[in-house]
Amino acid sequence: HFARGAAWNQTWPSMLQKDGYFVGHVGKWQFYSDNKKRFDWSKFYEGFHRYPLSHYPHYKNIAITADKNKEIPAEELAREDALRFLRQRPKHKPFALTTAFYPPKPVGISGEPGAQWTPKKEARAIYENMTIPEPYNMTHAFTLLPDFLQEPHTAAAAKFQERYSTETHYQEAMKNIYALITQVDDACKQIVDEIKRQGLYDNTMIIFTTDNGMFHGSHGLAGKWYPYQESIRVPLIIHDPRMSSAKKGTINDNLTLNVDLAETILGAAGLKPHEMMQGRDISDLYLPNKDTIDEKTAAEKSPWREEFFYEFSYPDSKTFIPSSNAVVQKKWKYIDWTGYNHEQLFNLENDPLEFTDVKYRMENSEILTSMRKSMAKYKKHFEDSRGEELPCTMINDAYWSVNPQTEKSV
């Protein structure tokens, strides 16, 4: 939706551009819709962990790690383009750049141990002599899932068989995944080093986060798609030069969401969010309230959210990826599996691994009723405010049609 027509004007890149920012995007994008018109500087690619050097001739004279097959690791390609953006940008303009790394997302459908991830040999060697601990009893955890999630034809169960079904599969997969994460980590360091080299580190907000978690064998599953903790929790690290020394390096356990990022970025630029935005500026959690003389943050003056609504709809198939909604709090999580008339309630303080559905326990009747009411409230709100239904799958299909070399993976 956001990438098409007038809706693009409601996004933070567009709003920054209108305020004079030079805005770029590098790497994974997934939407094909006149991308060249969306950013001042952009390079789009995704779908692989390596790319043929012949597709990127302008890199031949750059010191880049291309192996004997003349392939460029995906994170190095993204790193080099990020560095080019930083060096080529107009120096008289403020700037914003998104660098979206494809790794460590799996590629393809191979059932060979670790074959869906292809890190560099030197990164893989770091983990060669390690044994990666497996998640809590994967077999037992799987039997505790609702029956419809245990069906072998569901995406998460089938992907588990491809990726983690034996000890060798698990070890090879996780070592390759960790190696790819190490490569991304090194690429991020080099981008930050360039920002420091240009003397911009103390005047630049840097946000590191991801789009989703992965099960990696937890619950006897692979992939994402379900509202369990391993799937919906993601890292979030913010470097903000405005942050006090007392706040730097601290951990905050408030419930932040991806919808908060736009308002956080705009807030750092001194811009008000678009009225359609649904999040909150995360700096409210660590900056003093501008309207008071004390050191209390805005979140201390106006409390931060205590719960959020999760929605994942997969209308193409009820069984392949079951659709779900959830209301998530720090202590409680309520899940509604919409296609199966099935509910789950978890006490996350007592059961962080989400083993035990406690909806039938008498002592939880009040919280179950309350969570059901919250679910109904959120669903009505978002159904009432839902805008024009656009064929997003057509955007995706268009992307694949013009990038036939990219193999679909989930």
Torsion, CA 224, CA 229, CA 230, CA 236, rounded to 10:
100
Give the per-residue pLDDT at 359: 96
- Residue 194 in tokens: 């360039």
CA distance 153 to 146: 14
Give the per-residue pLDDT at 383: 79
CA distance 191 to 185: 10
CA distance 24 to 43: 8
pLDDT along the chain (410 residues), means of 10: 73 96 91 71 88 74 58 92 96 97 91 94 96 91 95 95 96 97 97 98 97 94 96 96 94 95 96 93 88 64 91 85 96 96 97 96 96 94 64 40 41
Other Cβ atoms less than 10 A from the Cβ of 46: the count is 18
Give the per-residue pLDDT at 50: 87
Confidence (pTM):
0.88
Question: What Cα–Cα distance (Å) separates residue 137 from each residue in 140, 161, 166, 331?
Answer: 5, 16, 13, 23
Give the per-residue pLDDT at 125: 97
Helix, strand or coil, per DSSP, at residue 38: coil
> Distance of alpha carbon 71 from its chain centroid, rounded?
26
CA distance 85 to 197: 14
Give the per-residue pLDDT at 32: 54
Give the per-residue pLDDT at 390: 47
| Main-chain phi, psi angles of 275, to 5 degrees | -60, -20
- Residue 307 in tokens: 């719960």
Give the per-residue pLDDT at 398: 39
Where are the extended beta strands (E) located within 118-221?
206-209
Give the per-residue pLDDT at 397: 41
Give the per-residue pLDDT at 297: 67
Give the per-residue pLDDT at 60: 59
Contact 61/51 with Cβ under 8 angstroms? no
CA atoms 31, 35, 40, 42: torsion sign: positive
Give the per-residue pLDDT at 361: 96
DSSP track, 125-144: HTTTT--PPPPS-HHHHHHT
- Residue 167 in tokens: 């000890």
- Residue 33 in tokens: 């819709």
Contact 108/116 with Cβ under 8 angstroms? yes
Other Cβ atoms less than 10 A from the Cβ of 377: the count is 12
